[in-house]
Structure 1
Amino acid sequence: MVATSHPLAVDAGLAALRDGGTAADAAVAAAAMLSVVDPRSTGLGGDLFALYWEPGHAEPVGLSAAGVAPAAMTVQALRAAGFDVMPPEGPWTVTVPGATWGWTELLDRYGRLDRGQVLRRAVDTARNGFRVAPMVAEEWLLGADKLRRNPAAAEIFMPGGRVPRAGETFTNSGLADSLEAYVAQGHKPFYEGSIATGFSDAVAALGGPLRASDLSGWTGPEWTTPIRARFRGIDVYEMPPPGQGVVVLESMRIYQEFEATSTGEADHYLIECLKAAFGDAARHVADPRFSPVSVSDLLDGDRLAKVREQIGREAADAPAPGAPTDTVYVCVVDETGAACSLIQSLYEGFGSGVMAPGSGVVLHNRGNGFTLRDGHPNRPEGGKRPYHTIIPAMLGDDDGFRGCLGVVGGFMQPQGQLQILRNVLDRGMSAQQAVDAPRLRVLGGRAVGLEAGFDAVSSAELARRGHHLGSLSRFECGGAQMILRTAGRLDGGSDRRKDGYVGVC
């Protein structure tokens, strides 16, 4: 089974499985295709995280393909460049991209197919063109202003001076060339050689800090042990810091101890638990190689009991977790039962907006995840990874793998994951029902956004408890994909807010 947000990416993943590939082969095939058909959300210039669960193993392993800050990306340099806060886009937000090296790690460790088989469909689609999907077209339009500020990117992604409309054919020959370079040589051209030089030259020409030595000097992705906590008898696995997976684990552990007498009361407690967990993450999450982050302390039962005691029956003020951003997520289970939960992103729409001419590759703006606040552990330093929003999840129990889950949308990701887990484990929904159900989003202060169709009785109770309610657009709700292993079968869900589907072979 393959579930992701674009039909051509699902098709690419299924083709890899039919060719005898593993969950890793299929996940990379889908991710490569998404880099072609959803260029606003992902690409070869971004980062990647994945969880992989082999049959017979007690738990998954994690892959962190998150690049680091350039050596010259320091607080002092940013302030000298005129920034009091981290810029939202542009050359000072570009960190070393990790996606292509992440593909290599997955394929080398778990794949069966050669790179040509895995990327064949993505290369052909970039070269020969594809019809732009409806949801992608809508979101592409949101990035038009950023593209206009970056002529090299606008030339590719705004052909004829405008964003492609749904149903129009779009090609990206430069990206096809870059994908073919990956087929021929793996990730190396993206860290050494002409492609890497193009990346660093494009950033340097705009006054940014990335240099060729930052790309060639990166030591690459790392395999890691996921963090986990139990919710309703199910183990939930997330990537460790600098990712925000700890927000999911903390909020769900606090939430499951509340006894709600109505849906509105349950929604109130869910909102307040998320506020508490986001607050802790904002204070503590950083690259643990520079500033140790004690996940065990954050999830300590006695500590969480004290946090729970601070949550009242009325809405509390809290800082905004963050704005919507763009990402793609893929989940796959292969014929052996191996599973891959993969997420890949440029962070915000079209990332930094910086593109090396001829490459077809936009570089991400993941450096925006740093803060310039004095004394904060997440301040930028050379070789450091910023706070990361992208969080693939997996579910397990004493019998092993139980499911994959991912929600795109920056700081909506933990919020969406908790709501979907609740839909399945508390409300008995199928995977498709769980990802389709109307969502809420914690905003800032006492503000909460509600999607159209959200339960009216619950909404009224939230208002009585002091929450300031507003509407939530489809784009702000995140897009989810899910595969569950139930008795003797797989149950998949692909979010109606995106263009994809659940494919089975």
Structure 2
Amino acid sequence: MRDLFRPGRSPVLAPNAAIATSHPLATAAGLAVLHDGGNAVDAALAAVAVQCVVEPHMTGIGGDCFALYAPAGGEVVAINGSGRAPAAASAARLRDLGLSEIGQTSPHAVTVPGAVSAWMKLHGDHGSLPLDRLFQDAIGYAENGYPISPRVFHDWQAAAPLLAQDEGSAKAYLVDGEAPAMGAMHAQPKLGARLREIAQHGASAFYTGAVAESLVARLQALGGLHTLDDFAAGQDSAIYVTPISTGYRGYEVLECPPNGQGVAALMILNILAGFELPEGLSLAERIHLHAEAAKLAYHHRDHLIADPAHLPHPVETLLSAETTASLQKRLSREQAKPATLWTEPEHQDTIYLCVVDQDGNAISFINSIFHSFGSTRHDPGTGVLLHSRGASFRLTEGHPNAIGPMKRPMHTIIPGMLRKDGQTVMPFGVMGGHYQAAGQAALLSGMLDRGMDVQAAIDAPRSFSFDGVLEVEPTVDGATRERLSAMGHRVEVASSPIGGAQAIWIDRSTGTLWGGSDPRKDGMAAGF
């Protein structure tokens, strides 16, 4: 139990249903749907639609989506709602255009968005309430306005200079060249119109007709290779896939398979499983072990994870006992080391939400436009902001994640699901771009190694070793930072909170739901 004399959050305990999102208006929308008899999928769609309006820097209908759905008493199903590159795209063609990489604002960073396709597939197969009811609150906020919340304002303000460089984004998201003030009302009426059309006509309202024509014209004007045929094919881009999993401390951890980086989270957990991580372990040693495990897993991710049709090694190989043992041997408890591939001789912005409904169905749901405000390419004709997920593609010929016709890029967004003895015990996820795999491992370790409740594990100080730097939040004390430096880490104090998380723990012994929501965001957990 937390220290009640100190500021903080208690977990939300509910007997029937619960939802946790990164924005209070989204949580309220999903909770209302649950009260109206909607199921977990219904509530998730209602919440994410609101977030596409009120957190425009994080998500939108011009982005991508992944989800894990655990029907009560059934097997977990995974959906891949990531978009594909245009049929005309190739690494050679982009190099011929003078590119050496795909930047955030490049039209080539925009793959055909997959979120709407995934939403419609989930709703058609598992939803119960009509879409016009589910999108009701989102449409209201888009057309009538919503107040800018504190964390949203913080991020919006930082993105203002980049938004100013795109005429559509400047008009849609800036006021006299600046971010709207905290608490100010902001509306997106054209986005509301798009949600109305999708509710009425389904995915075709986004991928064909006037909306697709406007989006393709906008992208082509920027130099993109997109066609109407590419967008029409995107209508059916979302597919069901088989979850991948590993065991950790007696639990089963499930993830979506590549092209997502869920396999990296499982690799980190596999490495950590070879070490004791009790409550009494020093913070410096705990951070060090997580950092070293993350470096090894991310090194493999960057070299090997791509569109599933282009994987050089099956996931089973990456998660095998032999690979895990090889990686564990490379990890020193005393000294930071460079990452290497096991095959060598002895070699940013997202929303996440989760729901558990009255019948015990659970969903782990993530929707993203990647960078803050995605590509920053806003289409004035439709009100759609386009994502930047294609910036993950490489232009190196032969690389598994090289851009190519109709390929899906490597994705950072990863919903998670925890099970024990064949029963779902927690939908969970961590936002924050590249941090997500490391963040999931830290969250689970906090709960399963240290006995923290879901909210305490979310609240715990964070660190992230990436690209040669070990970033730590200011809540990590100076003595710990000095110890980490002595172990060989290049330590820097984070200038912004690292990631964000939501989770709902299902206590099977009492039937109580424990909801946790990250204080680093504006959101909340709620239930009844």
Instruction: Name the TM-score, length of structure 1 as normaliser.
Output: 0.96
- The one-letter code matched in structure 2 to 1:220 is S
In 2: Cα distance, 1:140 partner to 1:81 partner: 32
**Partner of residue 475 from structure 2, selected from 448, 453, 471:** 453
1:350 lines up with 2:412 in the alignment:
no
C-alpha displacement of 1:444: 2.4
Q: Which has the higher mean CA deviation after the structures are superposed, 342-351 or 356-365?
A: 356-365
Structure 1: distance between partners of 2:284 and 2:524: 31
8 A Cα contact 2:92 2:395, kept in partner: no
Which of residues 424, 430, 449 in structure 2 aligns to 1:407?
430
> Which amino acid counterpart does residue 444 of structure 1 have in structure 2?
D
Which residue identity is paired with 1:427? R
Match of 2:25 among 4, 8, 11: 8
Letter matched to residue 52 of structure 2: S
1:283 counterpart = 2:303: yes
- 8 Å CA contact retained: 1:27, 1:330: yes
Residue 377 of structure 1 deviates from its aligned partner by 0.9
Secondary structure of 1:143's match?
A: helix
Deviation at 1:71, TM superposition (A): 1.2
Q: Are the counterparts in 2 of residues 318 and 444 from structure 1 also a CA contact under 8 Å?
A: no
> Retained in 2: the 8 A contact 1:402–1:485?
yes
Q: How far off its partner does 1:184 sit?
A: 1.2
Contact 1:440 1:450 in 2 (8 A): yes
Equivalent-residue separation in structure 1 for 2:503 and 2:496 (angstroms): 18
Task: Report whether the alignment pairs 1:66 with 2:76.
Answer: no
* Unmatched 5+ stretches in structure 1: 320-324
Distance 2:480 2:282 in 1: 8
User: In the aligned structure 2, how far is the partner of 1:465 from the partner of 1:143?
Assistant: 35
TM superposition score normalised by structure 2: 0.92
2:504 counterpart (455, 466, 483): 483
Deviations, residues 479-505 of structure 1 (Å, cap 9, x unaligned): 111111113211111000000111112
Q: In the alignment, what sits opposite 2:9?
A: none
Higher alpha-carbon deviation: 286-295 or 363-372? 286-295
Number of positions where the alignment pairs a residue of Structure 1 with one of Structure 2: 497
Q: What is the SS of the residue equivalent to 1:240?
A: coil
Q: Which amino acid counterpart does residue 126 of structure 1 have in structure 2?
A: A
What percent of counterpart residues are identical? 39
Letter in 2 for 1:364: H
Hey, what does 1:322 align to over in structure 2? none
What are the Cα deviations for residues 342-397 of structure 1, in whole angstroms up to 9, with x where unaligned? 00000101111212213221011111111112321110111100000000000001
Give the letter aligned to residue 193 of structure 1.
G
1:433-490 Cα distance to aligned partner (Å, 9 max, x none): 1111110011322x21111112555434322211121101334x00111111113211
Residue pair 1:264, 1:462 contacting (<8 A) in 2 also: yes
1:242 aligned residue (259, 265, 269): 259
Deviation (angstroms), 1:44: 0.5
DSSP 3-state at the match of 1:160? coil
Matched, 1:418 2:441: yes
Kindly indicate whether residue 201 of structure 2 is the aligned counterpart of residue 185 of structure 1: yes
Residue 113 (1) aligns with residue 134 (2): no
Over residues 22-54 of structure 1, what are the superposed CA-to-partner deviations in whole Å (9 max), with x where a residue is unaligned?
100000000000000000110000000000001
206-215 or 153-162: bigger deviation: 153-162
Cα distance 1:455–1:425, how it changes in 2: closer, same or farther (>3 A)? farther
**One-letter identity of the residue aligned with 1:25:** D
Work out whether residues 68 and 77 of structure 2, in 8 Å CA contact, stay in contact via their aligned partners in 1.
yes
Residues 85 and 371 in structure 1, CA contact (< 8 A), matched pair in contact too:
yes
CA drift of 1:292 comes to 5.1
Q: Give the SS at the match of 1:411.
A: helix
The residue type equivalent to 2:308 in the other structure is P
Please provide the CA RMSD for this pair: 1.4
1:340 Cα offset (Å): 0.6
2:182 counterpart residue number:
166
Residue 411 of structure 1 aligns with an amino acid whose one-letter code is H
**1:132-151 equivalent positions in 2, closer than 5 A:** 132-151=148-167
Task: Find 1:316's aligned residue among 337, 346, 351.
Answer: 337
Give the SS at the match of 1:345.
Answer: strand
1:367-386 alignment, distance < 5 Å: 367-386=390-409
Q: What residue is the counterpart of 1:265 in the other structure?
A: 285
**Residue type at the aligned position of 1:233:** G
Note the 1:123-138 alignment, pairs <5 A. 123-138=139-154
The counterpart of 2:221, out of the listed 198, 201, 205, is: 205
Q: Are 2:67 and 2:365, in contact at CA under 8 Å, matched by a contact in 1? A: yes
CA contact (8 A) 1:317 1:444 kept: no
Aligned AA (2:488): G
1:32 aligns with 2:45: no
Structure 2: distance between partners of 1:389 and 1:358: 30
AA of the residue aligned to 1:308? Q
Q: Contact 1:10–1:30 (CA<8 Å) still a contact in 2?
A: yes
SS in 1 for 2:310: coil
Contact 2:295 2:466 in 1 (8 A): no
Contact 1:90 1:353 (C-alpha < 8 Å) held by counterparts: no
In the alignment, is residue 305 of structure 1 matched against residue 325 of structure 2?
Answer: yes
2:148–2:182: 8 Å Cα contact kept in structure 1?
A: yes
Match of 1:330 in 2: 353
Q: Distance in 1 between matches of 2:67 and 2:351?
A: 12
Q: Distance in 1 between matches of 2:282 and 2:431?
A: 29
Give the Cα separation in 2 of the matches to 1:170 and 1:347: 22
- Measure the CA separation in 2 of the matches of 1:48 and 1:23: 16
Q: Distance in 2 between the 1:4 and 1:160 partners? A: 31
CA contact (8 A) 1:23 1:332 kept: yes
CA deviation string 1:405-424 (max 9, x = no partner): 11111111011111111111
SS at match of 1:502: strand
Q: Deviations over 1:45-84 (max 9, x none)?
A: 0000000001111x31101111100012211221122211
In structure 2, the partner of 1:52 is 69
Verify the 8 A CA contact 2:92 2:397 in the aligned structure 1: no
Q: Partner of 2:239 in structure 1?
A: 222
